[in-house]
């Protein structure tokens, strides 16, 4: 008993000492913030069902009513102590307050000190609506609210905006792909799918973000003073044991991955069973293109984010509104960075291992000019000064502007796949040509063994731990695999800019009931370096739509319209354009086990012998948006 008591006392003293050290390291920004702000921590904001959401409020020391910048998040924002998230909260609050705004940050229900049970995207949607109503009624509020945040702090914004609260004056959603359900031809359902294939990022993310089911619970009705005091000692932010995700994501069946690493399974177990058009996707916090969107929005995306194409499609969807006022109040930035890494751009920005030059942009100046316009009613020059679309072109390494996306000057040019039947590997005879294929050309064949998948190497990824490193990497070594078909253009005689959506049509066959086909767009340098730009995948069973499954038969030819890719890249004179085709890109995408079964609950795969056809009757092709200047 004495030994246990000594251990507990030592643990408490160590915890207090640790908090003391970390608090000192974060004290500078908090001290600066306290000098200009009225700080009200651990405010328990009531929702319509009585659940209270933990909220921190930072507002200027003024008698004037002020507008509100609101961030709602599943992440820890407790500013006591140290750590990137906590420092970031204080820094963002300081930036807002010094510019005359109240900064309000709130945890979704069930997260940290917020009451209730958590579900992905902070449902119910009424929580967001109720928060707007509470904030606009505060004595210090001018009644105008703008939402702001990246990733999980942005993804809830679109669906809540569809509720059309009168106080929501504008939005700044950044890296918001996991909040997009269905938009046009994209049925990603919040990044769970691409072309009907399961993306594994949320498997890894849920393991890291969900708290253990045995986590401590704050007693119902705890007072604000009690919560402030408790937060100084325990911020309800435990960490799950570190896991090698490159190994964990290889576990089969997929449905047991989180169980296999002793993670919290409930949400994952429900969602992993959903098909791409399951009715449940339309009942939660996702935004779909049949929902209204009337809010002025300043959208931020990036070329190496996990869902760049549906993000751009959503911008276009809102821009195509019949209401000119709505359409004219949408602006877009496309940066050459990874997920939410806008401000990490430097004078020499490296994304993966490719330099894309000086990609810096005056983000804060533009964002606060936007907020000033909509929340303060300032007659500033945001609309005159800010291009409708600001996009970064890699290769030429420059910011460009356009009135629409893709740029009006982009015209689609079709490149056809050719070979003499040996497009396998970098050393094969696959080519991309402007000429249509001959009436008869040999097919290209490769074997796809789901137990030996093509490994993800760079790409447009997020949140997979150490399993996939995102960005642009030289693909030459990968292209020595016999299960990768390589098609390369002739050397370009002049520089060529590709900016827009990249479309591709493949004519395929297989001896398996179901399989996947992948495609990757690549910039090949004169020295042979081959840098990936974007990639996509299509599960064959969904080739006729995501509301049905149609399986393949051996000997038949099937047309696949691949989910469009996106980029802006300048291929310099002397470079070549390349695509790779295979049947796996793992672990970015779950392996298709080729059985025609559920896939998520299976452990044994079937080897597929897959075929790409390219002849006059079956002209497999890629359509590139070429910008002429």
Query: 10 Å Cβ neighbour count for 418?
Result: 22
Distances in Å between the alpha carbon of 391 and those of 294, 399, 401, 405, 494? 24, 6, 6, 9, 22
Contact call for residues 62 and 77 (beta carbons, < 8 A): no
Task: Tell me what pLDDT residue 14 has.
Answer: 35
Under 8 Å between Cβ of 623 and 413: yes
What whole-number distance in Å separates Cα of residue 208 and Cα of residue 195? Answer: 26
pLDDT on residue 249: 98
Q: What is this structure's pTM?
A: 0.94
Q: Which domains does the chain have, with CATH numbers?
A: 1-153 (3.40.50.1820), 410-627 (2.60.120.260)
Position 17 scores a pLDDT of: 37
- φ, ψ for residue 147, nearest 5 deg: -95, 150
**What is the model's pLDDT at position 78?**
79
- Which phi and psi angles does 538 have, rounded to 5°? -140, 125
The pLDDT score that the predictor gives to residue 30 is 86
Give the C-alpha separation, 613 to 441, whole Å.
Answer: 8
d(CA 329, CA 294): 9
DSSP state of 343: G
Query: Do residues 61 and 38 make contact, with C-beta atoms less than 8 angstroms apart?
Result: yes
Q: Look up tokens 């490719």; give the residue.
A: 354
Q: What one-character-per-residue DSSP string does 527-555 give?
A: TS-EEEEEEEEEEGGGTT-TT------TT
Sign of CA dihedral 15, 110, 51, 76: positive
pLDDT value at residue 86: 60
Kindly state the helix (H) or strand (E) to which residue 204 belongs, with its residue range.
helix 201-209
Q: What is the DSSP string of 210-260?
A: SPPTT---PPTT--HHHHHHHHHH--S---PPP--HHHHTT-SSGGGHHHH
pLDDT for position 8: 31
How many degrees, rounded to 5, is the angle at CA 348 between CA 346 and CA 353?
A: 110
Q: Looking at residue 221, what is its pLDDT?
A: 85
- 153 HSE (CA, 13 A, CB side): 25
pLDDT along the chain (629 residues), means of 10: 35 38 60 95 97 97 98 86 67 96 97 93 95 98 98 97 98 97 96 97 94 77 89 81 96 98 94 97 96 97 97 98 97 98 96 98 98 97 97 98 98 98 98 97 98 98 95 98 98 98 98 98 98 98 97 98 98 98 98 98 98 98 94
């Amino acid at each position: 008993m004495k030994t246990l008591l000594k251990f507990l006392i030592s643990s408490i003293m160590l915890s207090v000492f640790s908090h003391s050290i970390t608090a000192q390291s974060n004290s500078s920004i908090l001290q600066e913030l306290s000098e200009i702000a009225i700080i009200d921590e651990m405010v328990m904001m009531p929702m319509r069902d009585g659940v209270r959401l933990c909220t921190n409020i930072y507002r200027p020391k003024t008698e004037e009513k002020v507008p509100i910048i609101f961030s709602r998040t599943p992440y820890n924002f407790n500013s006591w102590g140290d750590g990137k998230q906590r420092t970031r909260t204080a820094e963002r609050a300081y930036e807002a307050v010094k510019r005359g705004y109240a900064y309000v940050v709130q945890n979704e229900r069930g997260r940290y000190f917020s009451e209730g049970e958590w579900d992905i995207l902070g449902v119910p949607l009424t929580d967001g609506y109720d928060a707007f109503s509470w904030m606009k009624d505060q004595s210090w509020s001018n009644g105008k609210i703008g939402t702001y945040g990246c990733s999980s702090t942005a993804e809830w914004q679109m669906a809540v905006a569809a509720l059309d609260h009168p106080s929501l004056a504008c939005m700044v959603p950044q890296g918001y792909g996991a909040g997009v359900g269905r938009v046009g031809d994209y049925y990603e359902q919040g990044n769970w799918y691409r072309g009907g294939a399961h993306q594994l990022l949320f498997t890894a993310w849920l393991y890291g973000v969900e708290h253990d089911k045995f986590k401590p619970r704050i007693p119902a009705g705890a007072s604000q003073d009690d919560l402030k005091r408790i937060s100084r000692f325990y911020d309800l932010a435990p960490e799950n044991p570190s896991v090698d995700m490159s190994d964990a994501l290889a576990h089969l069946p997929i449905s047991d991955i989180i169980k296999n690493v002793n993670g919290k399974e409930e949400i994952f177990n429900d969602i992993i069973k959903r098909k791409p058009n399951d009715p449940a996707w339309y009942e939660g916090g996702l935004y779909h293109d049949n929902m209204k969107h009337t809010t002025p929005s300043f959208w931020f995306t990036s070329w190496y984010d996990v869902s760049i194409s549906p993000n751009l499609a959503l911008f276009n969807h809102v821009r195509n509104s019949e209401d000119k006022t709505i359409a004219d109040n949408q602006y877009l930035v496309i940066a050459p960075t990874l997920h939410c890494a806008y401000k990490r751009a430097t004078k020499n920005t490296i994304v993966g291992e490719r330099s894309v030059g000086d990609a810096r942009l005056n983000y804060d100046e533009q964002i606060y000019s936007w907020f000033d316009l909509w929340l303060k009613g300032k007659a500033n020059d945001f609309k005159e000064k800010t291009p409708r679309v600001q996009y970064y072109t890699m290769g030429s390494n420059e910011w460009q502007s356009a009135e629409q996306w893709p740029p009006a000057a982009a015209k689609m040019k079709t490149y056809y796949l050719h070979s003499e039947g040996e497009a396998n590997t970098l050393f094969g005879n696959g080519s991309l040509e402007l000429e249509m294929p001959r009436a008869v050309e040999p097919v290209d064949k490769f074997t796809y063994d789901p137990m030996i998948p093509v490994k993800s190497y760079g790409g447009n990824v997020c949140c997979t731990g150490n399993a996939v490193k995102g960005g642009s990497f030289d693909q030459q070594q990968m292209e020595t695999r016999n299960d990768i078909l390589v098609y390369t253009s002739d050397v370009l005689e002049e520089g060529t800019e590709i900016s827009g959506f990249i479309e591709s049509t493949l004519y395929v066959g297989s001896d398996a009931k179901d399989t996947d086909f992948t495609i990757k767009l690549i910039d090949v340098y004169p020295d042979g370096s081959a840098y990936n730009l974007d990639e996509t995948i299509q599960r064959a069973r969904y080739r006729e739509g995501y509301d049905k499954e149609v399986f393949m038969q051996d000997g038949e030819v099937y047309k696949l319209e691949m989910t469009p890719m996106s980029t802006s890249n300048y291929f310099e004179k002397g470079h070549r354009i390349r695509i790779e085709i295979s049947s796996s890109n793992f672990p970015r995408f779950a392996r298709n086990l080729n059985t025609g079964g559920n896939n998520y609950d299976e452990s044994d795969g079937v080897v597929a012998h897959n075929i790409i056809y390219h002849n006059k009757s079956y002209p497999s092709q890629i359509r590139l948006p070429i910008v002429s200047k």
